[in-house]
Amino acid sequence: LRRPYHQKVVDHFEKPSNVGSLDKNDPNVGTGLVGAPACGDVMKLQIRVDADGNIVESKFKTFGCGSAIASSSVATEWVKGRNVDDATKITNKDIAAHLNLPPVKLHCSMLAEDAINAAIADYKNKKKGAVESADDHRLEAAAVAAA
Ligand code: FES
C-alpha cells in the first residue's frame, strides 16, 4: 500500500454495515445496480420504504475495491431513516469527505451516490406502475359498468 487508507475506510471494509439483499420483487423495495466504467466494479444497493416514504432498511453488495465497499457501507447507514426525497441529497462528496478518500478513489464514492439514486428511482417507478395499473383497473371497471 503506497498510501495508507484512512481508518474509517479500513473499519467499514473490515466490518461493513448492512451487507446482504432485500427481495427485489417486494413493491416497497427499490434496487439500484450500478457499475463504474473506469474499473469495472459493481455495486448493488437496496432500500425498503415505509408508507410515509421513509427508508427503513438498506442493504448492499459490492464487487469492488475497499473504498467502494466502505462507500456503500456508509451509504446504507446514511439513507436509513431518511425520506426518499431527502436521501437523494447525499452526494459522493459527503461520502468521500467522511472517509477521507484520496482523489483517485473519488469514483468509488460516486458509485455509492449513483446506487442510492438508482435504488430510489427504481422504488418510485414501481410506485408509479402500481398507481397506473390501479388506474387501469378503475378504467376497466368503469368501462364494464358503462357497457
Ligand atoms: Fe473502482 Fe473503487 S476502484 S470502485
The pairs formed by 96-99 with CB atoms below 8 angstroms and a separation of 24 or more are 96/71, 98/8, 98/74, 99/6, 99/8, 99/9, 99/12, 99/67, 99/70, 99/71, 99/74
Residue 85, domain extent: 7-122
Residue 131, in any domain of the structure: no
Q: How far is the CA of 92 from the centre of ligand 1 (A)?
A: 13
Contact 66 CB / ligand 1 (< 6 Å): no
Task: Write out the chain's pLDDT in tens, 147 residues.
Answer: 456 788 999 999 889 999 999 999 999 999 999 998 889 999 999 999 999 999 999 999 999 999 999 999 999 999 999 999 999 999 999 999 999 999 999 999 999 999 999 999 999 999 998 888 888 877 777 777 777
How many structural domains does the chain have?
1
Contact 99 CB / ligand 1 (< 6 Å): no
Contact 122 CB / ligand 1 (< 6 Å): no
Residue 94, in any domain of the structure: yes
pLDDT at position 141: 79
Residue 36, in any domain of the structure: yes
Residue 90, in any domain of the structure: yes
Residue 115, in any domain of the structure: yes
Backbone CA torsion sign across 139, 142, 146, 147 = positive
pLDDT at position 131: 82
Residue 93, in any domain of the structure: yes
Distance CA 103, CA 96 (A): 9
Give the three cell numbers for residue 134: 390501479
Residue 65 is a catalytic residue: no
Mention every residue, 6+ apart, whose C-beta is less than 8 A from residue 26.
48
**Of 108, 111, 116, 120, catalytic:** 108
Contact 49 CB / ligand 1 (< 6 Å): no
pLDDT at position 6: 87
44, β-bridge pairs: 33, 61
Q: How far is the CA of 48 from the centre of ligand 1 (A)?
A: 26
